[in-house]
Amino acid sequence: MGAFNTSLELSNTEEFCISCHEMESNVYEELKTTIHFTNRSGVRATCPDCHVPHKWTNKIARKMQASKEVWGKIFGTINTREKFLAHRKTLAEHEWDRLKANDSLECRNCHNFDYMDFTAQSTRAAQQHSTSLASGEKTCIDCHKGIAHQLPDMKGVEGW
């Protein structure tokens, strides 16, 4: 178990995430232009902040799921930007489903709804956060897709 944990910790660093070319030259490059890379507060979100749950049980579940499913199948076959883009929608949908299922757990690790000051937010934001989000009808990822990477073809996606 100890060894398993160690290798898991290693694979939870950003360095590990972008050690393969398809991650570095696609998603990482895109992340750099967004608010989760540079912002006025200087707080940076790294790949594992959004993609690996912090709770141990979830973590393993996610890890096993990831290695078995889509990701495992797809990576290794992607070696050009075109091939990456061809698979992007499948990969994105997988992440949306996961974040929908866990009520955007990773987002909430940094953005805690209880401490959101609506009066300090823009009118557009406060309006949505105090209604659909507060009632639990919607979760972060329902309204905030594409906050860290470029979007795939959004035809048929709910809310677009």
Partner 1 sequence: MKTIIKGLLIASIAFSGIAIHSVAQEISTLRNETKLDEQKTPNKIYQVNNSDIKQKRNYPMQPPLIPHTIRNYEVNLNTNKCMACHSRQRTEESQAPMVSVTHFMDRDGNFLAEISPRRYFCSQCHVTQQDTKPLVENTFIDMHTLMKAKTDPK
Question: What Å distances lie between residue 4 and 11, 68, 126, CA to CA?
Answer: 11, 17, 43
Residue 159 interaction partner, one of ligand HEC, partner 1, none, beta carbon < 5-8 Å per kind: partner 1
Question: Is the four-CA dihedral 21, 22, 25, 27 of positive or negative sign?
Answer: negative
- Which of 21, 82, 27, 75 lies closest to 50 in space, CA to CA? 27
110 binds, among ligand HEC, partner 1, none (CB under 5 to 8 A by kind): ligand HEC
When asked if residue 127 is in the footprint of partner 1 (CB under 8 A), the reply is yes
The contact mask relative to partner 1 for 57-96 (x = CB under 8 A, - = no) is: ----------------------------------------
- C-alpha 114/C-alpha 135 separation (Å) is 13
Establish if 147 lies at the interface with partner 1 (CB under 8 A): yes
Is residue 13 close enough to count as binding partner 1 by CB under 8 A? no
User: Angle at Cα 56 formed by Cα 51 and Cα 1, nearest 5°?
Assistant: 115
Please select the residue that binds partner 1; options are 34, 46, 102, 109, rule is CB under 8 A.
34
Write out the residues near partner 1 by the rule CB under 8 A: 33-35, 122-124, 127, 132, 146-147, 150-154, 159-160
